[in-house]
């Protein structure tokens, strides 16, 4: 029962290569071209972000300019952090994809096949939902301008676009900006999909291991050692995931903290039922969902791994021999600590951390609102 799990990531892998995010581990005489491509993409997006910061701060020239910069730029800058992390840990990234189709992770009977199929079905559904949602957000801004008309507020980018197009190389500048925005959006999206896919895979492997433990009998004493090796492979997979995404989500926690507070403030001063009002609602849902995703799936992996000790205890050990019980006790001690992803080995990726960021961002919004209102 061999399942080709890598094929479910084929579009993400292709898009990641286009964005310069996946470097082949295998050496080649053309490797330097890909390294150069990665550098060009990231330098271009960094220049765009710096230009945007300068434009926003120069236009307003006061506290509103700073708030406007922190409204969207922290989230955009995390795309470069993600790209760098994928570049730095490309060997771990390659090992993750190589291990997806290893025999040790393949289902052995109909029940295990059902577990894996359910996981892949949900991942495919999640992919389609996220792609559709991203497409709607990308096109909704332009369609909204046709419905509501162009806002006269300075931070909607219209004046910036007109200024760019009026220059000598206006079309080139506009295309350059469009490319940068697309790259930033796409890499944030793709890296989150990788995280979701890896977490679902780990969760399915924990469910599969629980099923094996619950059906373990004394004559399978040798299998306990095999299950121990299997669990070590699961831990290695989880370690590579944490190494790849640890720095990403550490910076993302602070980016979201800044973005949440400023976004709530911008929303509070936006004219109700205007184009910008609905655009802000869409943006708030998007950025809150970006941090919720890894925290939710990180919590799911932890809960599934917590069930392993109970599953081992559910094995048929009561009437078994001493050797079987000893091996089972050793295995239970191995799975005593659940799998818990941490951002940079500090912040756990779970719902408790997510709620902590949300609560802190509301406090930040309150301070920001009081500070600006006092100045007025």
What pLDDT, on the 0 to 100 scale, is given for residue 278?
79
Question: Do 119 and 203 form a contact (C-beta atoms < 8 A)?
Answer: yes
For residue 11, give every residue at least 6 positions away whose Cβ sits within 8 Å of its Cβ, in sequence order, or none: 127
Helix 10-18 to helix 170-214 angle (10° resolution) is: 150
Question: Do 286 and 123 form a contact (C-beta atoms < 8 A)?
Answer: no
Residues 119, 126: Cα–Cα separation, whole Å:
11
For every one of its 376 residues, what pLDDT tens digit does the chain have, with 9 covering 90 and above? 689 999 999 989 888 888 877 766 666 677 778 888 888 888 888 888 887 777 766 655 556 656 666 667 788 888 989 999 998 998 999 999 999 999 999 999 999 999 999 999 999 999 999 888 887 776 665 555 555 554 444 444 444 444 444 555 556 777 777 788 788 888 889 999 999 999 999 999 999 999 999 888 655 555 788 899 999 999 999 999 999 999 999 999 998 888 888 888 878 877 887 777 777 788 888 888 889 999 999 999 999 999 999 999 988 888 778 888 888 899 999 999 999 999 999 999 999 999 999 999 888 888 877 776 666 5
What pLDDT, on the 0 to 100 scale, is given for residue 260?
84
Question: Do 87 and 247 form a contact (C-beta atoms < 8 A)?
Answer: no
- Tell me the residue ranges of DSSP E strands in the chain: 342-343, 347-348
Model-level pTM greater than 0.85? yes
Structure tokens at 345: 């080995």
Q: What is the DSSP string of 257-277?
A: HHHHHHHHHHHHTSPTTSHHH
Map out the domains of the chain as residue ranges.
14-375
What pLDDT, on the 0 to 100 scale, is given for residue 368?
74
Residues 267, 277: Cα–Cα separation, whole Å:
7
Q: What is the DSSP string of 201-230?
A: HHHHHHHHHHHHHHT--GGGHHHHHHHHHH
What's the farthest any 2 CA atoms get from each other in the chain?
85
């Amino acid at each position: 029962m061999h399942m080709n799990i890598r094929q479910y990531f084929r579009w993400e892998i292709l898009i990641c290569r286009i964005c310069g995010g996946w470097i082949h581990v295998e050496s080649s005489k053309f490797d330097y071209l890909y390294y150069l491509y990665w550098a060009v993409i990231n330098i271009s997006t960094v220049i765009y972000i710096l230009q945007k910061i300068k434009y926003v701060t120069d236009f307003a020239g006061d506290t509103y300019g700073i708030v406007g910069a922190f409204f969207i730029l922290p989230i955009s800058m995390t795309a470069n952090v993600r790209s760098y992390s994928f570049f730095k840990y490309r060997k771990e990234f390659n090992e993750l994809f190589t291990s997806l189709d290893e025999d040790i992770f393949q289902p052995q009977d109909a029940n295990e096949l059902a577990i894996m199929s359910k996981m892949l079905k949900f991942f495919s559904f999640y992919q389609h939902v996220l792609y559709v949602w991203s497409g709607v957000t990308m096109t909704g801004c332009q369609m909204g301008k046709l419905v509501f008309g162009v806002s006269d507020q300075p931070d909607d980018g219209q004046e910036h676009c007109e200024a760019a197009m009026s220059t000598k190389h206006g079309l080139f500048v506009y295309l350059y900006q469009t490319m940068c925005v697309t790259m930033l959006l796409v890499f944030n999206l793709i890296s989150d999909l990788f995280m979701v896919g890896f977490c679902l895979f780990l969760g399915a492997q924990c469910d599969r291991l629980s099923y094996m433990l619950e059906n373990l009998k004394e004559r399978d004493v040798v299998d306990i050692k095999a299950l121990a090796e299997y669990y070590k492979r699961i831990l290695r997979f989880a370690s590579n995931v944490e190494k790849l995404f640890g720095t990403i989500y550490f910076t993302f926690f602070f980016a979201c903290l800044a973005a949440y507070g400023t976004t709530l403030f911008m929303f509070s001063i936006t004219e109700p039922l205007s184009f910008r009002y609905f655009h802000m609602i869409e943006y708030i849902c998007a950025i809150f969902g970006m941090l919720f995703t890894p925290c939710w799936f990180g919590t799911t992996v932890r809960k599934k791994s917590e069930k392993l000790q109970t599953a081992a205890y559910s094995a048929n050990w009561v009437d078994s021999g001493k050797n079987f019980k000893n091996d089972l006790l050793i295995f239970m001690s191995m799975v005593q600590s659940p799998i818990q992803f941490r951002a940079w080995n500090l912040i756990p990726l779970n719902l408790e951390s997510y709620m902590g960021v949300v609560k802190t961002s509301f406090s930040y919004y309150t301070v920001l609102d009081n500070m600006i209102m006092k100045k007025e």
